[in-house]
Amino acid sequence: MAIYIVTSILISFFLHKYLFVGITSGWIAYGIANLFIPEWAAAIGIIIGIIASIPPHSSNN
Residue-level pLDDT at 58:
56
pTM equals 0.76
- HEC assignment per residue over 11-54: HHHHHCHHHHHHHHHHHHHHHHHHHHCHHHHHHHHHHHHHHHHC
Picking from 42, 23, 18, the residue whose alpha carbon sits closest to that of residue 32 is: 42
pLDDT in tens, 12-49: 888 888 888 888 999 999 999 999 999 999 999 999 99
- Label residue 12 exposed, middle or buried (CB < 10 Å: 0-12, 13-18, 19+): buried
Picking from 57, 55, 11, 6, the residue whose alpha carbon sits closest to that of residue 27 is: 6
